[in-house]
Amino acid sequence: MFNAKVKSEVKVKSEVLKGIIDVTNPLVNEVKFNISPKGISLRAVDPAHVAMVDLQVKNDAFEEFKASEMELGIDMDKLSSIMRLSNTGDMVNIEYDEDTNRLVIKIGNIVRKMGLIDTAGMPDPKMPNLNLPAKVVLKASELLKGVRASETVSDHLSLTVNKDNFELFAEGDTDTVNLKLPKDLLDELTTNTKCKSLFSIDYFSNMIKPVHGENPITMMIGNDNPIRVEFDIAENKGHVTYLLAPRIESE
C-alpha cells in the first residue's frame, strides 16, 4: 500500500498527475496501475486494439513516495474530473484506503474518495519486439503543426523517412498537407532504406499532444508497420512508449 512517513500517502504536483492522465486517457478509460517502491507503471491496449501505451514514472517524480507492490484499477475519466479541481503547482495528496478499497485524494481543502476497479479481469499486454529500420527524433512543435494542419484535410496521414528527410503527408478529397523536414532540421535521422506507413490522424494526434514545445519526440518507423513513439514526461522522470498499428492502403 501507499505510505509516506506515517500517513500512508503520496504527495505529487498536479501537473505530474495530469501528465499521466493526458498520456493515458485518450486511449483507455480503465487502467491498471502497477505500484512498486520504484514508482508507477502501466501498460494498456485501446478497446479497438489499434494502439498500446506503456508508461513508467519513477518515484523521484513525486514529492513524497513510498509504496510496496500492489495493483490499483483506476477509472481515468473519474481521475481526470477530480484533477480539474487543481491548478498548476498545486500539491495533491493520494492515500489508499485498504478497508474500503478507495483512493482518498486531497486537493487543498477538497477531499474526494474514489472507488477503484477490480483488476482481476484486466489484461497484462506484452510489448512486441519490433525491428523498425528508421529512427527520427524531432521537436514536438514541428510535428504537432503538421498534424494539426492534416486534421482539417483527412482522417489519415502518411509518414515517410529516407536518408535525407522526414515527410508527413495528408490528402483529402480536394486538399493536401505536406510537412517535409530535411535531416539538418531534425535532432536525429537514421535509416538504411526508405520507409513509409499510413496512420489514423486521431490516434496519432492523441499520442503526440502530451508533448510540448521544443521537447523531443522519437519515432521508429517501417514499411506498413506499427509506429513506435517515445518521449519523456514529469521533468524527464517518466517515460512513455506508444505503439500504433498502420492503416493498409487499399488498391
Residue 49 CA to residue 52 CA, distance in Å, equals 8
Percent share of the chain, pLDDT over 90: 87
Residue 23 CA to residue 233 CA, distance in Å, equals 9
| Residue among 131, 125, 104 at smallest CA distance from 115 | 104
- Residue 38, domain CATH: 3.10.150.10
Burial class, 37, CB count within 10 angstroms (exposed 0-12 / middle 13-18 / buried 19+)? exposed
Give me 89's grid cell.
503547482
Per-residue pLDDT reduced to its tens digit, 98-132: 889 999 999 999 999 999 999 998 989 999 999 99
For residue 2, pLDDT beyond 70: no
- 3 in a structural domain: no
pLDDT number for residue 194:
97
| Residue among 58, 56, 52, 50 at smallest CA distance from 12 | 58
Residue 172 CA to residue 230 CA, distance in Å, equals 28
- 187 in a structural domain: yes
Regarding whether 110 and 147 lie in a shared domain, the answer is no
- Residue 167, domain CATH: 3.70.10.10
Regarding whether 86 and 27 lie in a shared domain, the answer is yes
Percent share of the chain, pLDDT over 70: 95
For residue 8, pLDDT beyond 60: no
Give me 122's grid cell.
484486466
Domain housing 66:
10-115
CA 152, chain centre distance (Å): 23
At residue 175, φ and ψ (nearest 5 deg) are: -120, 160
Q: Give the pLDDT band (50/70/90) at residue 24.
A: very high
Q: Give the pLDDT band (50/70/90) at residue 176.
A: very high
Domain edge (last residue) among 64, 82, 115: 115
Residue 154 CA to residue 202 CA, distance in Å, equals 10
The stretch 74-80 carries a mean pLDDT of 97
| Residue among 6, 1, 15, 4 at smallest CA distance from 65 | 4
Per-residue pLDDT reduced to its tens digit, 155-175: 999 999 999 999 999 999 999
Residue 113 CA to residue 103 CA, distance in Å, equals 6
Give the H or E element holding residue 143.
helix 140-151
Residue 122 CA to residue 110 CA, distance in Å, equals 30
Per-residue pLDDT reduced to its tens digit, 231-244: 999 999 999 999 99
Domain edge (last residue) among 60, 80, 115: 115
pLDDT number for residue 250:
54
- Report the mean per-residue pLDDT for the chain: 93
